[in-house]
Every structure is written in structure tokens, then in C-alpha cells.
Amino acid sequence: MTVTPGLGTPQLASPDLLRSTFRRHAAGVAVITARGASGPVGFTATSLSSVSAEPPMVSFGIGTGASSWPAISEADHVGVHILGEHQSELAATFARSGADRFGAPTVWRPGPEGVPVLDDVLAWLVCRIVGRVPAGDHRIVLAQVVLGDPSGAGRPLLYHQGRFNGLRD
């Protein structure tokens, strides 16, 4: 391993290296929802990406040990919700293990294809799952956009340095 002046000491690949590196990467915050066999499920995701414009397609990652994975692994459709900076508590609720994610104060309704749709988000999509790609202890889910609403007001919620933040001017 070679040390590059001014760049610090390189570390061998590890989960800690990856986590430390991506804490420095600001990411938009989304909540992914689906209809599960025993009710709605959902989780906070910072791995949401636009994949294709034609057809319109997105991707996101989910750990195979996540409580939402069994439902996502079987679902035909998911909801994708872009959170606003006013929704850090909602993001924390959907990130917390064992939380009642769809209980008060979360406001939601059954949407198209039975997908839970969250209220007051910047934008939401309903997407048809077209693939689940193994990636270590996660799956990358590919989903084609069916419909949505991008008309919510406000600024996006970001995740950076282990905290939810808003944009600064």
C-alpha cells in the first residue's frame, strides 16, 4: 500500500471504511413503502437513484436482514417518497428498528396498486418492481415508474455525517 502525501493513511476495505466514507457523502432521503401480508411496510433509504429515463426507472438498496425485506421481496409494486427537510422525524421513524412506522403521527393512505402513500412529501412515485439483484448482504431493487406526483412544496431532506439535515444557501 502506498501513502500519498496530503491524503492520509489508506485503509483496507472494510464495513467501517465504507460507512466512514459514505458519512461524508450527502444523500437525499426517501422512504420506500409496500403492502405486506400483515400490513404496510416501509424503510428509510438514502440509496435511491434514477436509473433510466426511457423507460422511467429507479433503484434502491435494501438489506436482506431488514424487517421490510420479506414484503419487498414479494411485492409487485413499491411507493417511493422524497422527503422534505421538515420530515426528519418521519425519516427517523422509518429508519428505527421496531418502530410503529404507520401509526400516528405518520399520515398515509392506500394508494394505487395498494401501495401505502405518505402525505406531505416533496414527491412520490408508485413503481412496478422489475428486478432484485443480489449485492452482498443487500438486494438492489429495480423498479419502473407507473405514476406519481412531484408537486410537493419545500426543500429536500439530506443525510450527512450520520444526521438528517436541510440544504444551506
E strand spans, the chain: 27-28, 30-36, 39-45, 49-53, 56-63, 77-82, 108-110, 116-118, 123-135, 138-149, 157-160, 163-166
Cell of 101: 412506522
Report pLDDT digits (tens) over 73-106. Answer: 999 999 999 999 999 999 999 999 999 999 999 9
Report d(CA 166, CA 169) in Å as an integer: 10
Which distant-in-sequence residues (6+ apart) come within 8 Å of 74 by Cβ? 37
> What pLDDT does residue 133 have?
98
In this model, does residue 4 exceed pLDDT 70? Answer: no
Report pLDDT digits (tens) over 36-52. Answer: 999 999 999 999 999 99
> What pLDDT does residue 82 have?
98
Report d(CA 31, CA 44) in Å as an integer: 4
In this model, does residue 7 exceed pLDDT 80? Answer: no
Report pLDDT digits (tens) over 8-45. Answer: 788 888 888 888 888 888 899 999 999 999 999 999 99
pLDDT band at 112 (very low <50, low <70, confident <90, very high): very high
Q: Which of 48, 53, 57 is nearest to 121 (CA)?
A: 48
Torsion over CA: 46, 52, 58, 63 (sign): negative
> What pLDDT does residue 1 have?
54
> What pLDDT does residue 43 have?
98
Which region holds residue 75: left if phi is over 0, alpha if psi is between -120 and 50, else beta? beta
CA distances from 59 to 54, 163, 165 (A): 14, 23, 23
3-state secondary structure of 125: strand
pLDDT band at 5 (very low <50, low <70, confident <90, very high): low
What does pTM read for this prediction?
0.91
Stretch 49-68: mean pLDDT, rounded? Answer: 97
Stretch 120-134: mean pLDDT, rounded? Answer: 98
For the chain, what is the mean pLDDT? 94
> What pLDDT does residue 19 have?
83
